[in-house]
Structure 1
Amino acid sequence: MKKTILALSVMLASAAQAAPIDASTFVGASTPLQTAPYGVRNYSAPVLVGGLHDPASYMAAPKLPAWQFAQVDPTGGVLTFERQSAPATGWHTWSRKGRVVVSGGSAARADRIYTVFNGQQLVAAINQAGNEPKIIRVVGHIDLRWSQNNTVFKEYTSFSDQKNGGSINLPSNTTLVGINDAQGRPARITGTALLIGAEMPLAPGGDPEVDFKKWIKDGKDGEAYPTWTRNIIVRNLVIDTPWDVNPEDSDNAYADGITVSRAQNIFIDHVTVSDGDTPESLATGTYKTRHDGALDVVRGSDYVTIANSTFSTHHKTTLVGNGDGGRAWSDEGRLHVTFAGNWWNGVAARLPLNRFGQVHMFNNLVTGNVMTKDTDVKFESGSDARYRSNMLLENNYYNITGVKLSEFCGKVIKGKGFIGFRSSGHIFTSDRAGTNAVDGQCGMARPDAAKLWTPPYLYALQTATSTESAVPAQAGAGKLK
Structure 2
Amino acid sequence: MNAQRWHGHVTGVAVVGCTAVALTVTGTTAQAQSPRDLARQTLPAGDGWASYGTGTTGGAAADAEHVHTVTTWAEFKAALAAGGSAPKIIKVKGVIDAVADGCEAFAAPGYDFDAYLTKYAPETWGLDTDLSAEPADSPEGLRRASAVNQDKAIKADIPANTTIVGVGRNAGFKGASLQIKAVDNVIVRNLTFESPVDCFPQWDPTDGSNGNWNSEYDTAVVYGSTHVWLDHNTFTDGSHPDSAAPTYFGMLYQQHDGELDVVRGSNYVTASWNVFTEHDKTILIGNSDSESTAVGDRGKLKVTFHHNLFSNLVERAPRVRFGQVDVYNNHFVADGSYAYSFGIGKESQLVAQHNAFTLPKGISAAKVLKKWSEAPLTADGNHVNGKAVDLIAVHNAEIPAETLQSGAGWTPTLRTKVDPAKAVPGIVGARAGAGKIC
Q: Specify the alignment match of 1:87 in structure 2.
A: 44
Cα distance in 2, alignment partners of residues 154 and 115 from structure 1: 29
**Aligned partner of 2:229 among 254, 267, 279:** 267
In the alignment, structure 1 residue 308 sits paired with structure 2 residue 266: no
Mapping 1:44-83, distance limit 5 Å: 65-66=1-2, 75-77=24-26, 79=33, 80-83=37-40
Q: Specify the alignment match of 1:349 in structure 2.
A: 315
Does the 8 Å contact 1:425/1:440 carry over to 2?
Answer: no
Q: Specify the alignment match of 1:245 in structure 2.
A: 199
Once the two structures are TM-superposed, the CA of residue 153 in structure 1 deviates from its matched residue by 9.4
C-alpha offsets along residues 143-175 of structure 1, whole Å, 9 cap, x if unaligned?
22348xxxx996432211111111111010000
Look up the SS of the partner of 2:59 in the other structure: coil
C-alpha offsets along residues 111-147 of structure 1, whole Å, 9 cap, x if unaligned?
1000001011111111112211000000011122348
Once the two structures are TM-superposed, the CA of residue 74 in structure 1 deviates from its matched residue by 6.9
Does the 8 Å contact 2:99/2:154 carry over to 1?
Answer: yes
Cα distance in 1, alignment partners of residues 305 and 76 from structure 2: 28
Kindly tell me: are residues 415 and 283 of structure 1, through their superposed partners in 2, closer, same or farther at Cα, counting changes over 3 Å? same
Matched letter for residue 420 of structure 1: P
Kindly tell me: are residues 153 and 332 of structure 1, through their superposed partners in 2, closer, same or farther at Cα, counting changes over 3 Å? closer
Q: Specify the alignment match of 1:368 in structure 2.
A: 334
Cα distance in 2, alignment partners of residues 85 and 117 from structure 1: 24
Does the 8 Å contact 2:344/2:375 carry over to 1?
Answer: no
Q: Specify the alignment match of 1:38 in structure 2.
A: none
C-alpha offsets along residues 38-72 of structure 1, whole Å, 9 cap, x if unaligned?
xxxxxxxxxxxxxxxxxxxxxxxxxxx3488xxxx
Does the 8 Å contact 1:264/1:301 carry over to 2?
Answer: yes
Matched letter for residue 415 of structure 1: K
**Aligned partner of 2:256 among 273, 291, 313:** 291
Q: Specify the alignment match of 1:41 in structure 2.
A: none
Once the two structures are TM-superposed, the CA of residue 346 in structure 1 deviates from its matched residue by 0.8
In the alignment, structure 1 residue 389 sits paired with structure 2 residue 348: yes
Cα distance in 1, alignment partners of residues 348 and 410 from structure 2: 12
Once the two structures are TM-superposed, the CA of residue 472 in structure 1 deviates from its matched residue by 0.9
Cα distance in 1, alignment partners of residues 2 and 311 from structure 2: 23
In the alignment, structure 1 residue 136 sits paired with structure 2 residue 93: no
Mapping 1:75-474, distance limit 5 Å: 75-77=24-26, 79=33, 80-88=37-45, 89-94=47-52, 99-146=53-100, 155-157=105-107, 158-180=146-168, 185-197=169-181, 228-249=182-203, 250-284=212-246, 285-286=248-249, 288-326=253-291, 327-370=293-336, 378-403=337-362, 407-409=364-366, 411-429=367-385, 435-439=386-390, 441-442=392-393, 443=396, 444-447=404-407, 452-474=409-431
Cα distance in 1, alignment partners of residues 379 and 262 from structure 2: 22
**Structure 1, unaligned runs of 5 or more:** 1-64, 198-227, 371-377, 430-434
Once the two structures are TM-superposed, the CA of residue 312 in structure 1 deviates from its matched residue by 1.0
**Structure 2, unaligned runs of 5 or more:** 5-21, 108-145, 204-211, 397-403
More deviation, 165-174/73-82:
73-82
C-alpha offsets along residues 263-298 of structure 1, whole Å, 9 cap, x if unaligned?
111000001001111112333224611100011111
Once the two structures are TM-superposed, the CA of residue 93 in structure 1 deviates from its matched residue by 1.2
Does the 8 Å contact 1:145/1:156 carry over to 2?
Answer: no
Once the two structures are TM-superposed, the CA of residue 422 in structure 1 deviates from its matched residue by 0.5
Matched letter for residue 309 of structure 1: N
Look up the SS of the partner of 1:129 in the other structure: coil
Does the 8 Å contact 2:343/2:371 carry over to 1?
Answer: yes
With normalisation by structure 1, the TM-score equals 0.70
Cα distance in 2, alignment partners of residues 277 and 391 from structure 1: 33
Look up the SS of the partner of 1:469 in the other structure: helix
Kindly tell me: are residues 417 and 303 of structure 1, through their superposed partners in 2, closer, same or farther at Cα, counting changes over 3 Å? same
Look up the SS of the partner of 1:164 in the other structure: helix
Does the 8 Å contact 2:272/2:307 carry over to 1?
Answer: yes
Does the 8 Å contact 1:145/1:154 carry over to 2?
Answer: no
RMSD in angstroms over aligned alpha carbons? 2.1
Identical pairs, percent: 33
Q: How many pairs are equivalent?
A: 353
More deviation, 452-461/332-341:
452-461
Matched letter for residue 345 of structure 2: R
Runs of at least 4 residues of structure 1 off by over 6 A?
A: none
Cα distance in 2, alignment partners of residues 251 and 351 from structure 1: 22
Kindly tell me: are residues 413 and 84 of structure 1, through their superposed partners in 2, closer, same or farther at Cα, counting changes over 3 Å? same
Look up the SS of the partner of 2:214 in the other structure: coil
Kindly tell me: are residues 389 and 105 of structure 1, through their superposed partners in 2, closer, same or farther at Cα, counting changes over 3 Å? same
Matched letter for residue 396 of structure 1: N
